[in-house]
Amino acid sequence: MKNCEYQQIDPRGLSTPSSTQPYTENNVQRPRRKWEVFPGKNRFYCDGRIILARQSGILPLTLGLIIVTSGLFFAFDCPFLVTHLTVCIPVIGGVLFVFVVTSLLQTSFTDPGILPRTLPDEAADIEKQIDTSGSSTYHPPPRTKEILINQQVVKLKYCFTCKMFRPPRTSHCSMCDNCVERFDHHCPWVGNCVGKRNYRFFYSFIVSLSFHTTFIFGCVVTHLTLRSQGGNVYVEALTSPLTVVELVICFFSIWSILGLSGFHTYLVAFNLTTNEDIKGSWSSKRGAENSGNPYTYDNIFTNCCATLCGPMPPSLIDRRGFLPPEDIPPAVAVDMGRPPFLAKNDTNMNLNCILLVSSHLLLERGREEYAFEILPLCLSCMSPLYPLRTPPSPNVLTILCYILCHKREDCAHSIFIMHIRDGTLHP
């Protein structure tokens, strides 16, 4: 063995051996749902039943502020007000609190109206519709297409991400990377886009939150006023500091919430969206051809009913549907029954390189018995023939490579024996 010739081994060129002893007893591929390969930047929970934006970190803050403020109100203000005024105060506060939290969760967890991306065949048909005007040069897809809505020209923009012309009032959200029907805006406070399917919940949330905040603010002021009768307001405030905390939170939040509610009430009354209002899509300043909202019913009551009380449109993305076997990505199908650390990725390939280099150094120095213990370990990272319970530790492998470079094969062998004995390579 000492006179053998060795050559550099490229682990990426090694074919994965077929498993004669599968990692799991049940080697049948698990059916995968469509939400697992959804192309947008969304998070799914409860097996696809709940959808959230990936940047949903402010949602817990919103929920926490509502719960903390309401909890302080029920704990420190309601007992005093029930004794001195009426028992209806906690009942009203409880109803408003439940309505606010329910509306918030419905807004956050509901599909806002995401449009599925165009299939490859449909995208090819759109490409064929491009008017080249007989020229042999390449023409990109047209960026706009004009249609008539209520005798008014409306331009449809082409979405190069979703490969389709966006329907009227649809916009592509850069945060979620989806085209959303009747896109209003992306709201970080609720952790989701606000669109056609969840706008009614969003409007209910901000309106009920306005009433809830105003109610708590009024009750806190009444509480402090009744306590300070015949005494000093400042002294009474010091005796109930948490009530003062409620007062400060409500005072600084009530103005923005009331302003937001008033703004969206205006939008609902005229059947507009925030996106259209900001861009001035139907403003007379954009010219006579674009003036006037083609979606309005010219009646405030009808506009409100159409926006808030119409039937809930169905979701167009089949989140919980199963993928056909031919649509499962090859990488997913290969790694379906294997532990995560056995998947072929750059990290495991780097670890394999370190192991192979260590084996090569041992063979060069005539320590075949040590090298033959390392080579099966290389295979265990690439196939389930030699499964390990845990992935190799990069720290241990780096130390081994360093020791071998300094010709201390005995130390390296001791470390291998210590960490291979129980089927792991972790220190």
User: Same domain, yes or no, for 369 and 298?
Assistant: no
> Contact, 348 vs 381, CB < 8 A?
yes
Q: Of 99-113, 132-146, 206-220, 260-274, which range is least confident? A: 132-146
> Is 187 annotated in the active site?
yes
Mean pLDDT of 313-321: 88
Rounded Cα gap, residues 3 and 368, in angstroms: 12
pLDDT of residue 404: 57
User: Same domain, yes or no, for 264 and 370?
Assistant: no
Does the pLDDT of residue 377 top 70, yes or no?
Answer: no
Q: Is residue 159 part of a domain?
A: no
- Summarised one tens digit per residue, pLDDT across range 169-196 is 999 998 999 999 999 999 999 999 999 9
Q: Is residue 152 part of a domain?
A: no
- Summarised one tens digit per residue, pLDDT across range 262-277 is 999 999 999 999 999 9
User: Same domain, yes or no, for 248 and 378?
Assistant: no
Find the domain containing 2 and state its range: 1-14+327-427
User: Same domain, yes or no, for 239 and 332?
Assistant: no
Q: Which of 159, 179, 187, 193 is catalytic?
A: 187
pLDDT of residue 411: 58
Mean pLDDT of 58-77: 92
Mean pLDDT of 363-374: 65
Q: Is residue 241 part of a domain?
A: yes
Mean pLDDT of 323-351: 52
Rounded Cα gap, residues 33 and 46, in angstroms: 12
Rounded Cα gap, residues 205 and 98, in angstroms: 11
Q: Long-range pairs for 166-171 at CB < 8 Å and ≥24 separation?
A: 166/115, 167/115, 168/295, 169/273, 169/276, 169/295, 170/115, 171/275
- pLDDT level of residue 395 (50, 70, 90 thresholds): low
User: Same domain, yes or no, for 288 and 343?
Assistant: no
User: Same domain, yes or no, for 222 and 348?
Assistant: no
Domain boundary among 308, 342, 366: 308
How would you label 138-164 residue by residue, b for 16+ Cβ within 10 Å and e otherwise?
Answer: eeebeeeeeeeeeeeebebebbeebbb
- pLDDT level of residue 424 (50, 70, 90 thresholds): very low
pLDDT of residue 160: 86
Q: Is residue 134 part of a domain?
A: no
User: Same domain, yes or no, for 388 and 350?
Assistant: yes
Q: Of 11-15, 163-167, 284-288, 377-381, which range is least confident? A: 11-15
Q: Is residue 49 part of a domain?
A: yes
User: Same domain, yes or no, for 250 and 110?
Assistant: yes
User: Same domain, yes or no, for 282 and 407?
Assistant: no
User: Same domain, yes or no, for 293 and 411?
Assistant: no
Does the pLDDT of residue 158 top 50, yes or no?
Answer: yes
- pLDDT level of residue 331 (50, 70, 90 thresholds): very low
Domain boundary among 308, 337, 370: 308
Does the pLDDT of residue 402 top 70, yes or no?
Answer: no
pLDDT of residue 386: 40
Q: Is residue 64 part of a domain?
A: yes
Top-confidence residue, 383 or 50: 50
pLDDT of residue 4: 45
261, β-bridge pairs: none
The total number of structural domains that make up the chain: 2
Q: Is residue 139 part of a domain?
A: no
**Mean pLDDT of all residues in the chain?**
75
Rounded Cα gap, residues 162 and 8, in angstroms: 45
Domain boundary among 308, 337, 356: 308
Percent of the chain with pLDDT over 90: 30
User: Same domain, yes or no, for 234 and 206?
Assistant: yes
Does the pLDDT of residue 28 top 90, yes or no?
Answer: no
Top-confidence residue, 312 or 225: 312
User: Same domain, yes or no, for 98 and 228?
Assistant: yes
Q: Is residue 175 part of a domain?
A: no
